Chain A
Amino acid sequence: MIHSSSTAELADDLATASAPRKRSFWRALLAGPSGLIGLVIVAVLIFAALTAPVIAPYDPLRMAAGPRLDAPSTNYLMGTDDFGRDVLSRIIYGARLTLQIGVIAVGISLSCGLLLGLVAGYSSGWTERVLMRLVDVLFSFTEIVIALACLAIFGVGLTNAMIAIGIASIPFYARVTHSVVLVEKGKPYFEAAVAAGAGHLRLIFLHLLPNVVPTLIVIGTLGVSTAILAAAGLSFLGLGAQPPQPEWGFMLSSSRDLISRAPWMMIFPGLAIATTVLGFNLLGDGIREALDPRQTDR
Chain B
Amino acid sequence: MGKFILQRLFAALVTIWIATIAVTILIHLVPGDPVRIMYGSFQTTPEELEAIRVRLGLDQPIWTQYLMYLERLVQGDLGRSIVGDQPVLDVLLTRFPATLALTVSSLAIAIVVGMSLGFLAAYKRGTWVDVGAMVLAIVGVSMPHFWLGLLLLFLFALQLQWLPVAGGDWRSLLLPALTLGLANAAVLARLTRSAMIDIFDQDFIRTARAKGLPRSIVLYRHALRSGLVPVVSMLGLQFAYLMGGAIVIENVFAWNGVGRLAIEAVLSRDYPLIQGFILFFATVVALASVVIDIAYAFLDPRIRYS
Instruction: Name A249's contact: one of B144, B194, B197, B244 (CB within 8 Å).
Output: B144
Q: Find residues 48-72 in chain B having any chain A CB closer than 8 Å to their own CB.
A: none
Asked if B151 is at the interface of the complex by the 8 Å CB criterion, the answer is yes
Choose from A153, A239, A274 the contact partner of B147 (Cβ within 8 Å). Answer: A274
Q: Do the beta carbons of B289 and A148 come within 8 Å of each other?
A: no
B263 x A239 contact (CB < 8 A): yes
State whether B244 touches A281 (Cβ < 8 A): no
Name the segment of A134-142, A181-189, A198-206 touching the other chain.
A134-142
Q: Is chain A's interface secondary structure helix, strand, loop, or mixed overall?
A: helix
Contact call B266/A156, Cβ cutoff below 8 A:
yes
> Considering only CB atoms, which chain A residue lies closest to B184 in the complex?
A4
Q: Please measure, in the bound complex, the distance between the C-alpha atom of A148 and the C-alpha atom of B259, giving whole angstroms.
A: 11
C-alpha spacing A154/B265, complex, angstroms: 14
Residue of A nearest to B146 (CB): A236
Kindly identify which residue among A267, A278, A297 contacts B142, using a CB–CB cutoff of 8 Å. A278
The distance in angstroms between the C-alpha atoms of A5 and B269, with both chains bound, is 34
Cβ contact within 8 Å between B143 and A140 = no
Interface segment out of the listed B14-22, B171-179, B207-215: B14-22
Interface status of A233 (Cβ within 8 A of chain B): yes
Nearest CB of A to B242, in Å: 10
Interface residues of A in 137-172 (CB under 8 A from B): 137, 140-145, 148-149, 151-156
Q: If the complex has contacts A152-B274, A239-B267, are A263 and B154 also in contact, measured as CB distance less than 8 A?
A: yes
CB-CB contacts of A197-240 with B at 8 A, as 1s and 0s? 00000000000000000000000000001000100110011110
Counting chain A CB atoms within 10 Å of each CB, the highest count among B147, B194, B248 belongs to: B147
The smallest beta-carbon distance between B263 and chain A, in angstroms, is 5
Question: When the two chains form their complex, are residues B138 and A1 in contact, meaning their CB atoms are under 8 A apart?
Answer: no
Whether the Cβ atoms of A4 and B150 lie closer than 8 Å is: no
Report whether A152 and B263 are in contact in the complex, using a CB–CB cutoff of 8 Å: no
Contact B241 A266 (CB under 8 A): no
Contact at B144–A143, with CB atoms within 8 Å? no
Query: Given known contacts A239-B263, A259-B153, A263-B154, is B14 in contact with A152 (CB within 8 Å)?
Result: no
Q: Is B89 an interface residue (CB 8 A)?
A: no
Closest to B191 in A: A5
Q: Which A residues are in CB contact (< 8 Å) with B234? A: 4-6
In Å, the complex CA distance between A274 and B147 comes to 9
Task: Please give, as numbers and ranges, the residues of chain A lying within 8 Å of B103 by CB-CB distance.
Answer: none
B93 in the interface (beta carbon within 8 A): no
A75 to B30, CA, bound (A): 48
Q: Is the CB of B274 within 8 A of A148?
A: yes
User: Is B146 within 8 A of A4, CB to CB?
Assistant: no
- Per the bound structure, the CA–CA distance linking A249 and B230 in Å amounts to 34
Q: Is A260 an interface residue (CB 8 A)?
A: yes
Q: Which 3 A-B pairs have the closest CB atoms?
A: A270-B147, A278-B142, A142-B244
Residues of A that sit less than 8 Å from B by CB: 1, 3-6, 133-134, 137, 140-145, 148-149, 151-156, 225, 229, 232-233, 236-239, 249, 252, 255-256, 259-260, 263, 266-267, 270, 273-275, 277-278, 281-282, 285, 297-298
Q: Could you list 21 A-B pairs, sorted by A, with CB under 8 Å?
A: A4-B191, A140-B15, A140-B282, A140-B286, A141-B278, A141-B282, A145-B278, A148-B262, A148-B263, A149-B22, A149-B278, A151-B266, A152-B26, A152-B274, A153-B29, A237-B248, A259-B153, A260-B154, A266-B147, A274-B142, A274-B144
